[in-house]
Chain A
Amino acid sequence: MVAAGIDVGAETVKVVLLNGEKVVGSSIVRGGLDRSKSADEAMDEALKSAGLSRGDVERTVATGIGRKEVEFATAVATEIAADARGVTVLFPSVRTIIDVGAEEARGIKTDGTGQVTDFAKNEKCAAGVGSFVGSMARALEIQLEDMGPLSLESDKEIPMNVTCVVFAESEVVSLIHAKVPKPDIARAIHGAIATRTTSMVRRVGIEKEVVFIGGVAKNPGVVESLKRHLGVDFLIPEEPQMVGAIGAAMIAATAN
Chain B
Amino acid sequence: MAEQKPEFWRWHEYTWRDEGKNWKDYEMITAGVDIGSVSSKAAVMVDGELYSYSLYRTGSSSPDSAHKAMQGCLEGTGMTIDDIKFIVGTGYGRVNVPFAHKTVTEIACHARGANSMNAGVRTILDMGGQDCKAILCDERGKVQQFLMNDKCAAGTGRGMEVVSDLLSVPIGDIGPLSLGVNREPPPVSSTCVVFAKTEAVGLLREGFDVAEVLAAYCAAMAHRVVTLIQRVGVQKEFAITGGISKNSGVVKRIEKELGVEAVEIAPDAQLAGAIGAANFAKDLLAKQMARAGG
**Which positions in A face B, CB cutoff 8 Å?**
10, 33-34, 103, 124-126, 131-132, 135, 163-167, 170, 173-174, 177
Contact = CB atoms under 8 A, between A and B. Distances in A.
A174 B194 contact: no
Interface in B162-197: 162, 190-195
A16 to B, nearest CB: 25
A164 B151 contact: yes
Identify which of A124, A131, A132, A167 gathers the most chain B CB atoms within 10 Å of its CB. Answer: A167
10 contacts: A34-B205, A103-B198, A124-B192, A126-B192, A126-B195, A163-B152, A164-B193, A165-B194, A166-B193, A170-B37
B195 A166 contact: no
Nearest to B202: A33
Interface in B144-165: 151-153, 158-159, 162
B162 A166 contact: yes
A202 to B, nearest CB: 20
Given A164-B151, A167-B130, A33 B201 contact: yes
Contacts of B194: 126, 131-132, 135, 165-166
Most A Cβ at <10 Å: residue of B37, B130, B201:
B130
A177 B191 contact: no
Contact of A166 (B153, B190, B198, B205): B153
| Most B CB within 10 A of own CB, among A10, A126, A131, A135 | A126
Interface of B: 37, 60, 130, 151-153, 158-159, 162, 190-195, 198, 201-202, 205
B96 to A, nearest CB: 13
Contacts of A165: 153, 192-194
Contact of B152 (A34, A125, A174): A125
B227 to A, nearest CB: 14
A177 B60 contact: yes
Given A124-B190, A164-B151, 15 more contacts: A33-B201, A34-B205, A124-B192, A124-B195, A125-B192, A131-B194, A135-B194, A163-B152, A164-B152, A164-B153, A164-B193, A165-B153, A165-B192, A166-B153, A167-B153
A9 to B, nearest CB: 12
A124 B158 contact: no
Contacts of A103: 195, 198
B195 A170 contact: no
A33 B60 CA distance: 36
A167 B158 contact: yes
Nearest to B156: A166
Contacts of B153: 164-167
Nearest to A123: B195
A238 to B, nearest CB: 29
Given A10-B198, A126-B194, A170 B205 contact: no
Nearest to B201: A33
A84 B152 CA distance: 32
Contacts of A164: 151-153, 193
A132 to B, nearest CB: 8
Contact of B151 (A10, A163, A170): A163
A166 B158 contact: yes
A135 B192 CA distance: 14
Contacts of B205: 33-34
A10 B192 CA distance: 15
Nearest to A141: B1
A174 B159 CA distance: 18
B14 to A, nearest CB: 23
Given A135-B194, A164-B151, A165-B194, A174 B60 contact: yes
A205 to B, nearest CB: 26
B289 to A, nearest CB: 40
A253 B201 CA distance: 36
A182 to B, nearest CB: 17
B36 to A, nearest CB: 13
A130 B121 CA distance: 44
Contacts of B190: 124
A125 B149 CA distance: 15
Contacts of B158: 166-167, 170
